[in-house]
Amino acid sequence: MTPSLSPVSPAWIAEAGASLGFDLTEADAERFARSVNAELDGYAVVDDLAPAGAAESVDVADVHHPSATEDPHNAYITRFTLVDDGADGPLSGLDVAVKDNLAVAGVPMTCGSRVFEGVVPRRNAVVVDRLLAAGARIVGKANMDELAYGPTSETSGFGPVTNPADPTRVAGGSSSGSGAAVAEGSADLALGSDTGGSVRIPASFCGVVGFKPTWGVVPRDGFVDLAPSLDHVGTLARDVETAALGIDVVGGYDPRDPASARASQTGVGTCAAALAAAPDAADLSLGVPDELLADHVSDEVRERFEAAVSTLEAAGATVERVAVPTVADAVYVWNAITNVELAAALRRRSLPLDRPGPHDLARLDATAASQSARGVGFGDVARERALVGAVLLDRYGGRHYTRARNACARIADEFAAALNGHDALVAPTMPVVAPELGAQKPHSYGDDDGLDVPLAFNTRPADLAGVPAVTVPDGGDGLPVGVQFVAGRCEDRTVLQVARTFERVSDT
C-alpha cells in the first residue's frame, strides 16, 4: 500500500484558494483544510491501481551524446540506433531523426532543456512506433530550442545548432537539429514540431523541405506540448516525396489523441502516392497574400521569391495578389495563445489533461519531479514567455486568450476566402535568410530603423488557422530561401501536390 498523502495546512489552503480566485477567510481555510485532509488518504488507492509499470521491450543500441567530430553542427542531443529488424515497410532503408520532444523508450527526453536531462521514457510516442513498423532506422534525438520556444536554436540547453549551408549561421528553430540533420545528410527524414513555424523555419534556413499538416493529423501521444491547441508534428526531408511518405506513416487516428480523428478527412496515408497526379504548372492558380510580402521581407528574399514566382508563371501558372488582413495582427494573437498555454502547462507540471491515456507514468512522474526540483534552470526565454502567460491568466482573467482563440477562426475564414478559386497560396517562408549566430533577439529581428518583427511572421498564421503548409527550397544560388505553399484545412494532399509541381519546375 502506498503511504498516505501528507496533510495540508490552512495557510496552504488559503494560498491555493487565492490562485483559484477564492477569497477565503481564516475560518474558511481551517474548515477546508480539515475536509481536504480527511479525503487525501483515499487517493493512495489510485497509486496502487496504476503503478508506473515496466519499460517496453526495447533494444536501443549505443545511446550516447555525440562528439563534435561525430556531430559537427550539434544537430543531435543523443545518438543511437533503433530499428525493428522484422519490419519491412515504406521507410525501409531510411535513417530518421526524431525531435527531442517525442518519446523514445530507453532514451533521455530533454525537450532541449537541462532541467529534464534525467527523464527517460518507458514507452515510445505513437509516431515512433509507426516509424519502426514502417521499417525506419531511428538514428538519434534531434537538438531543439528549449521547450520548443525559439526560431534559431539558440535557446537550447545543449548549445545552438549551426547551419550546414554556412556554419556561422543559425539552423533555425525550434526543430533545429531536425533541419540540420537532413541538410547535412545524417538523416533522410526527420520529425519536428510546428507551433509557430518550427518545422518550416529550419527547413527554409537549411534548404530542405518541411511539411506541417492540418492540425490534428499526426497524433501527439508521447509528445511534449508547447501550446497544445497550436502544436503540429511534421516532417523534414530533402524532397517533397520523402516528406509526404513520412506523413503517410506517422499520420492517422490514434485513440490516445482525440484530435487525430481529423486525419481521416485529409487523405493522409495516400499523400506520397498522390504526388504522381501532381498538376502541370499551367493548371495551377496561386494567390500571393499581400501581408506576407510586405516591408518586413528583405530585398534579398523578395528578389529570390519573385524569381520563383516568375518561374511558375513562365511554366503557365496563374498568380495573383490576395489578402489575409488579420495576419497583420497575428503576432499578439499567437503570443496570447502560446504564452498562456505554456504557463498553464508548467503550472500543471506538463500533465496531459487533454489526452485520455493510458500514459507513460514513469516519464510524467520524472518530468514533474525534475521541474519541481530544477525549474529555476529554465532559460530566460522560457521563463519570460511563461511569465507573460501567467500575467495574462492571473491579472486579466485569460480574456486575451479567449479572444485570440476566436481570432483563429477569423484567420481561418480569411485563408478560405483567399483560397477561393486558387489551388494554394504562396509566399516567402522566412522574411530573411538564416541570420548569423548571436545576431538575433530571441524571437524577432530588427534593423537600424527599429523594425521589430518576429522571424516567424510568415509561418505563424498557418498554425493559427490549422491549415497545411509546406516549404520548398527555391532552387536559387546562395543561402537557402524557402517558398511556402498553404492550402485549405484538410487539403494536405493538394498542398503537397502543388509543392511537387514547384519542385519539378524549379529543378528544370
Give the span between the Cα atoms of 172 and 469, in whole angstroms.
17
Cis bond before residue 174 (omega within 30° of 0): yes
Residue 133 CB-half CA count within 13 A: 10
Q: Choose the catalytic residue: 113, 174, 260, 370.
A: 174
Catalytic residue among 99, 153, 229, 506: 99
Residue 358: cis peptide before it, omega within 30 degrees of 0: yes
User: If residue 183 lies in a helix (H) or strand (E), which one and from where to where?
Assistant: helix 176-184
**Residues 175, 193, 198, 506: which is the catalytic one?**
198
Angle at CA 460, nearest 5°, toward 457 and 462?
130
Give 179's contacts (C-beta < 8 A, 6+ positions apart): 161, 171, 172, 190, 192, 201, 202, 203, 205, 206, 208, 210, 236
Distances (CA, A) of 342 to 117, 148, 183, 262, 393: 20, 10, 30, 24, 11
Are 10 and 26 a contacting pair, CB within 8 Å? yes
Burial of residue 504 (number of CB atoms within 10 Å: 0-12, 13-18, 19+): middle
175 catalytically annotated: no
Which residues contact residue 397 at a Cβ distance below 8 angstroms, ignoring those fewer than 6 apart? Answer: none
Identify the three-state secondary structure at position 325. Answer: helix
- 141 in catalytic set: no
DSSP class of residue 282 equals G
Q: By the 8 A CB rule, do 110 and 119 touch?
A: yes
Which are the catalytic amino acids? 99, 174, 198
